[in-house]
Amino acid sequence: MDELDSAILAALQADGRRSNRELAAELGVAPSTALERVRALRQRGVLTGVHYAADPAMLGRPVQAMVTVRLRPQSREIVQGFRDFVIRLPETLQVFITTGSEDILVHVAVPSTEALRDFVLDSLTKRREVAGVRTEVVFDHVRNHVVRPA
């Protein structure tokens, strides 16, 4: 990635809705150059999509939590199967496979603490492969939407 690619990446992460003309004007390049570079970044898998972020609280899910899950027996099949199961649950925002004493970290958003309890007990702990669960409520959540190249 060169300087122009990095500038395009930062600009589109800040506002992915801008037109190609706006992007080119901001970066001081021809619209054809901006378009070609954006296409190349997409083809290389650097840019993976454009979407709006939704506020879970505005959608009736103001309580967020991080739920760590320990699985047994440990195997690729068990971990990936559980990952695929939990990402399909409507409460799930993100899933991370981790190292350490737990295997999976699940970021969830639910309507209430009661709903969080029900999610953990009814959706997670009833699974045979779940050996342990730890839940931590999130008080505040801030996300950096701009990722710069290393």
- The CATH number assigned to the domain holding 10 equals 1.10.10.10
- Which range of residues forms the domain containing residue 66? 56-138
- With respect to residue 106, please indicate whether it lies within any of the assigned structural domains: yes
Give the pLDDT mean for 68-89. Answer: 97
Q: Based on the domain organization, do 30 and 89 belong to the same domain?
A: no
Q: Based on the domain organization, do 33 and 76 belong to the same domain?
A: no
Q: Which of 1, 74, 76 is nearest to 38 (CA)?
A: 1
Per cent of the chain over pLDDT 90 is 87
Under the banding of pLDDT at 50, 70 and 90, the label for residue 150 is confident
Query: pLDDT at residue 147 above 90?
Result: no
- With respect to residue 107, please indicate whether it lies within any of the assigned structural domains: yes
- With respect to residue 143, please indicate whether it lies within any of the assigned structural domains: no
Q: Phi-psi category of 122—alpha, beta or left, where left has phi over 0 and alpha has psi -120 to 50? A: alpha
Q: Based on the domain organization, do 103 and 128 belong to the same domain?
A: yes
Query: pLDDT at residue 49 above 90?
Result: no
Would you say 12 and 18 are in contact if contact means Cβ atoms under 8 Å apart? yes
- With respect to residue 148, please indicate whether it lies within any of the assigned structural domains: no
Q: Based on the domain organization, do 112 and 88 belong to the same domain?
A: yes
Q: Based on the domain organization, do 26 and 67 belong to the same domain?
A: no
Q: Based on the domain organization, do 98 and 121 belong to the same domain?
A: yes
- The reported pLDDT for the residue numbered 8 is 96
User: What is the total count of domains within the chain?
Assistant: 2
- The reported pLDDT for the residue numbered 146 is 81
Distant-in-sequence, close-in-space partners of 128: CB < 8 Å, separation ≥ 6: none
- With respect to residue 97, please indicate whether it lies within any of the assigned structural domains: yes
pLDDT in tens, 53-70: 889 999 999 999 999 999
Q: Based on the domain organization, do 64 and 133 belong to the same domain?
A: yes
Q: Based on the domain organization, do 34 and 68 belong to the same domain?
A: no
